[in-house]
Amino acid sequence: MADDSRDVEVVVVGLGVIGAATLWRLAARGVDVVGVEQFSIGHPWGSSHGSTRMFRTTCLEHPGLVPLARLSRRLWRELEEGAGQPLLDETGGLLIGPPGCHLVAGTLEAARVHDVAVEVLDAPTVADRFPEHHGVPGDHIAVLDPTAGLLRAEDAVRAAAGAAERAGAEVRTGAPVTGIELVDGGAIVTAGTTTIRARQVVVTAGPWLPQLLPDLPLTVVRTPMTWFRPAAGSGRFGVTEFPVFLRDLGGGGIVYGHGAVAGGLVKFALEYDDDAAVFRETSAGDCDRRIAEQDWKRIEAVARWAAPGLAIEPAETTVCMYTLTPDRQFLVGRPHGDPRLVVGGGDSGHAFKHAPGLGEVLADTVLGRPPAVALDFADPDRFDRAR
Ligand SMILES: Cc1cc2nc3c(=O)[nH]c(=O)nc-3n(C[C@H](O)[C@H](O)[C@H](O)COP(=O)(O)OP(=O)(O)OC[C@H]3O[C@@H](n4cnc5c(N)ncnc54)[C@H](O)[C@@H]3O)c2cc1C
């Protein structure tokens, strides 16, 4: 049997969107790096599949994320250029809800602090300009973020891995990493029959992080995604008439989606819901990826009043996973300051848009340089300090 074991500077474990972007940014700096992915690049078993993801710079999750989104936007464009294919379609996006809700107030705050020119629409204007959004109460508003749009999810992961390879990285797929041993001067990573010795290992294993680094405070939650066809006769569901949106449903529920791209389906799905039977805690290994009727009953009920122009039953469904931290911010950095180990994860359901920027910051961390964007609030040790 050929010996494909290697000595390298860095190994990246897990090539979803964050790992692929990290591999790209490390290789772009001339680092000798290998990326290991247990499945194929762009597979549907983790957190980076499902055709599209929303991009926006008005990051309501933390004002400190706006500079990261701006850096990511620049890098998405660079990636597009290198790959020769579109990855980010800036359609503009709507955030709809009562003025005081986190979705609307957080977006307006991020726009104010970072000077993003957004438009505020009252409910009658929403009904007039975006008539497929029904039932928006008179006292709700929408923030129109012109920088929002759609990322092409699987294409983006493949483009990042491809850019990494063109810059000199090696990509290995089809065998899971079964061991990460931190030793004097580096790490030994085992995948199948291969052993890779590296000075540093970057673990970007998404919902599998708890298996590889069990000390991190992470919860994995099963999250179904749903797509609908427009009902016969309703025709204003193109992506420009029904652009990407997030809409507050009250009681912690949020529905999100976007219109059909190139005659495809309309994405209309629940982001959060109190239905613990659907959004249930899981582990990546045991996640039930089958879709049952209970998975789409609630979204179907929401569609009936909020977007009644959609056909009743979902036309397509899939299961994805959020990997949540206690404060819903990411984990980016060196756990316990270990010079051999870097982690990038805890995506908390909002990291896709930031992946190239996170890749850049993770590459800075590996190289011991000041980060392109300060992400102190994502320090993986912050929960230890709070104890
Ligand atoms: C339903 C849903 C909707 C979302 N919507 C948005 C949105 O609109 N905008 C946004 O910005 N974000 C959104 N997100 C969040 C975003 O998709 C995630 O933050 C992002 O995809 C996380 O990427 P990741 O690389 O951390 O994880 P993953 O994509 O899961 O990648 C981890 C990779 O590691 C590999 N791996 C794991 N263990 C091993 C091992 N032992 N050996 C080798 N390989 C291994 C896995 O196979 C996988 O490929 C959404 C997420 C979900 C689930």
pLDDT, tens digit, 9 for 90 and up, residues 13-34:
999 999 999 999 999 999 999 9
**What atom of ligand 1 comes closest to residue 48's alpha carbon?**
21
User: What are the tens digits of pLDDT across the range 95-104?
Assistant: 999 999 999 9
**What atom of ligand 1 comes closest to residue 176's alpha carbon?**
42
Burial 112-147 (b: 16+ CB within 10 A, else e): eebebebeebebeebbeebebbeebeeebbbbbbbb
Query: Using only C-alpha atoms, what is the Rg of the chain?
Result: 21
> Which architecture, in CATH terms, is 6-50+154-218+327-386?
3-Layer(bba) Sandwich (3.50)
The span from the CA of 383 to the CA of 137, in Å, is: 39
Cα torsion through 271, 275, 277, 280, rounded to 10: 40
pLDDT for position 206: 98
Q: Is 353 in the pocket of ligand 1 (CB under 6 A)?
A: yes
Ligand 1 midpoint to CA 242 (Å): 26
Ligand 1 midpoint to CA 164 (Å): 18
Ligand 1 midpoint to CA 61 (Å): 18
Closest CA to 260 of 224, 309, 320: 309
The span from the CA of 270 to the CA of 254, in Å, is: 6
pLDDT for position 118: 97
Ligand 1 midpoint to CA 80 (Å): 20
**What atom of ligand 1 comes closest to residue 178's alpha carbon?**
41
User: What are the tens digits of pLDDT across the range 146-194?
Assistant: 999 999 999 999 999 999 999 999 999 999 999 999 999 999 999 988 9
Ligand 1 midpoint to CA 89 (Å): 20
The span from the CA of 33 to the CA of 35, in Å, is: 7
Residue extents of the structural domains in the chain: 6-50+154-218+327-386, 93-146+219-324
Long-range CB contact pairs, 370-379, < 8 A, 24+? 372/71, 373/64, 373/67, 373/68, 373/71, 374/64, 375/64, 375/68, 375/330, 375/332, 375/333, 376/64, 377/62, 377/64, 377/329, 378/329, 378/330, 378/331, 378/332, 378/333, 378/346, 379/332, 379/333
pLDDT for position 274: 65
Q: Is 150 in the pocket of ligand 1 (CB under 6 A)?
A: no
Q: Is 152 in the pocket of ligand 1 (CB under 6 A)?
A: no
In the predicted model, residues of the chain with pLDDT beneath 70 are 1-3, 273-276, 385-387
Ligand 1 midpoint to CA 193 (Å): 26
pLDDT for position 294: 83
pLDDT for position 1: 45
Closest CA to 177 of 198, 141, 203: 203
* Residue 83 DSSP symbol: H
Supply the CATH classification number for the domain 93-146+219-324: 3.30.9.10
pLDDT for position 63: 83
Pairing of strands 149-152, 52-55: antiparallel
Q: Is 14 in the pocket of ligand 1 (CB under 6 A)?
A: yes
- Site to probe by mutation for ligand 1, drawn from 256, 289, 352 as the one with most ligand atoms within 8 Å of Cβ, is 352
The protein residue with its alpha carbon nearest to ligand 1, atom 36, reads 14
